[in-house]
Structure 1
Amino acid sequence: MGPHRRAAAGAASSALALTLALALTGCGPAPWDFGAEPTPSTTTSSTPSAAPTPVPNDLSSGSTERELVAGAVAASVDYWSNLSMDRWTAEALKPVSLSMTTTVTPDDGQKVYLQRAVMVAVPQGPDGAMAPLEAQVDQSSVAPGYLVLAPYSYSQTFNVGSVPTDATHVQLQFSYDFLVQTTPTSNEFAKQTASDTVTVAIAAAPGSESDPEE
Structure 2
Amino acid sequence: MARAVAAAALAVASTVALAGCGTAPWDQTQFNTNAAGPSASPVIPSTAPATITPIVNELATGSTQHQLQAGDISLTVNYWSTLNMGEWTPEANKPISFSMVGSLGSDQGQQIYLSRVTLTPSVDGADGALSAPQALSDQAPIAPGYLVKNPYSYSQTFIIPAVDPAATSMTLSFTYEILLQSTPTSSEYAKQTAYDQLTIALAT
Query: TM-score, length-normalised on structure 1?
Result: 0.71
> Does the 8 A contact of 2:132 with 2:163 survive in 1?
no
Partner Cα distance (1:188, 1:180) in 2 = 8
Cα distance, 1:121 vs structure 2 = 1.1
CA offsets 1:61-117 (integer angstroms, 9 cap, x no match): 100000000011110000000111110000000000001100012100000000001
1:137 and 1:111 map into 2 onto residues whose CA distance is 22
The corresponding residue for 2:119 is 119
State the partner residue of 2:190.
190
Q: Deviations over 1:145-194 (max 9, x none)?
A: 00000000000001111111111100000010000011111110000000
Please state if 1:97 is matched with 2:122: no
Q: CA deviation at 1:125?
A: 1.3
Instruction: Give the match's secondary structure for 2:86.
Output: helix
Output the TM-score relative to the length of structure 2: 0.75
Match of 1:59 in 2: 59
What is the alpha-carbon distance in structure 1 between the residues aligned to residue 127 and residue 70 of structure 2? 33
**Structure 1 unaligned runs (5+)?**
1-43, 205-214
Q: Stretches of 4+ moved more than 3 A in 1?
A: 44-49
| Distance change >3 Å, CA 45–CA 72, structure 1 → 2 | closer
Aligned partners of 1:48 and 1:179: how far apart in 2? 53
Q: State whether structure 2 residue 80 is matched by structure 1 residue 80.
A: yes
Gaps of 5+ in 2: 1-43
Identity of aligned residues (%): 48
How do 1:4-15 residues align onto structure 2 when only pairs under 5 Å count?
none
Partners of 1:104 and 1:128 in 2: CA distance: 40
Question: Which residue number corresponds to residue 172 of structure 2?
Answer: 172
Q: What is the root-mean-square deviation of aligned Cα atoms in Å?
A: 1.8
Checking the alignment, whether the CA contact within 8 Å between 2:171 and 2:200 is kept in structure 1 is yes
Look at both structures and tell me which one has the larger radius of gyration over its CA atoms. 2
What is the number of residues matched between the two proteins?
A: 161
